Amino acid sequence: MVGQAQAVKALKAAAAKPVHAYLLVGPAGTGKMDAALAFAAMLVCPNGGEDGCETCRRALEGLHPDVVVFEREGAALSMDQALEATRLAARSPLESNRTVVVLPDLHLARDTVPALLKTIEEPPASTVFLALAEFVPPELVTIASRCVRVEFRPLTEEQLIGALVAEGVPPQRAAPIAALAGGRLDRARLLANDPGTEARRRAWEEVPARLDGTGATAALLAQELLEHLKRSAEPLTARQEAEVALLAEQNARQLAAVPSRVAQSAARTGVQELGARHKREQRRQRTDELRTGLAVLARAYRDRVVAGALPGQHGAEAVGLIDGLSADLVFNAGEQLALQALLVRLDRLA
């Protein structure tokens, strides 16, 4: 874990005598899921996670039967998933002394919060809930009050640069990437492996100067930016294709060694789970990339105010519009229409 010393310290201390529920709060990409799985490994390990044993390994890899992660299947945790989480929380552990239920992206689970509240308030003694959220909306206040809250902070640019350089990224490339990563190490790593990062940054930066008062130009710019957005997925796609090929190779070896229906069923399940994870990663990557571009655009408007090319009030209104769209992305706003509408408003404002 990089830059989360306080959170790590709190979770290590809590592992000795855990309570029924924890809420890990902080921006995406700050290590909440890694920390949750590591904490879960400590809770189910017979040795408290101190020896890196087989139990720890399976928990960290999502393979332990007593560590259940409910990744959302759509825009938010579904009611069926919430009811299943409640059911699993009531069962006895299969291998260890505890069942750990991990609920990512709980800030999106608006409609399913009531179904979870009673169970999180009073789970069985052997169950620990680990809820993850980017922020605490009003719907989550009651659940948050029933949990021990652990804060995760965005990484500083210096921390990001240090991590990237330690992983072999040249310092002169690490610095601009850290500025684009929004405090997120996962995002910084992805951008570091993407040769198109700088071109996309320039495209967003040039938008204010290219807007000319016509709807046609705003529509054209929106289309260009969406094309950049599409190309930004190429490093992720390449990594996912390699993972699919590796899994296919592993399944082939397993089926050759143990040609049974059980092995065939396990192989199909593994392929389905990998596909579902890849879809979630693709959705998140698009949102992350669009949010990064919007941050560059907001900075471009601030720079124009500083340079005297735009009145301060107009600059503030422009940044407000951009920040509004960035916040709405959490709720899966339609990218093309939302971006076109934003550029038309920015054009009129200028």
pLDDT band at 206 (very low <50, low <70, confident <90, very high): very high
Instruction: Report the mean per-residue pLDDT for the chain.
Output: 87
Query: Tell me, what amino acid is at 132?
Result: L
pLDDT per position as a tens digit, 257-286: 878 887 788 788 888 878 888 888 888 888
Query: Tell me, what amino acid is at 22?
Result: Y
Cα(23)–Cα(162) distance, integer angstroms: 28
End-to-end CA distance of the chain: 44
pLDDT band at 301 (very low <50, low <70, confident <90, very high): very high
pLDDT band at 331 (very low <50, low <70, confident <90, very high): low
Helix, strand counts (H, E) of the chain: 16, 5
Q: In whole angstroms, how far apart are CA 273 and each of 20, 73, 129, 244?
A: 28, 11, 22, 11
pLDDT band at 330 (very low <50, low <70, confident <90, very high): low
- What pLDDT score was predicted for residue 174? 92
Domain residue limits, the chain: 5-151, 156-193, 234-349
Cα(120)–Cα(109) distance, integer angstroms: 14
Q: Which CATH architecture has domain 5-151?
A: 3-Layer(aba) Sandwich (3.40)
Cα(288)–Cα(197) distance, integer angstroms: 13
Residue range 56-85: average pLDDT? 82
CB neighbours of 141 closer than 8 A, spacing ≥ 6? none
- What pLDDT score was predicted for residue 73? 67
- What pLDDT score was predicted for residue 24? 96
- Are 286 and 229 a contacting pair, CB within 8 Å? yes
pLDDT per position as a tens digit, 137-171: 888 888 888 899 999 998 999 999 999 999 999 99
Rounded percentage of the chain residues whose pLDDT exceeds 90: 32
Residue range 72-82: average pLDDT? 75
pLDDT band at 75 (very low <50, low <70, confident <90, very high): low
What is the SS3 assignment for 131?
strand
pTM attached to this predicted model: 0.70
pLDDT per position as a tens digit, 239-249: 899 999 998 99
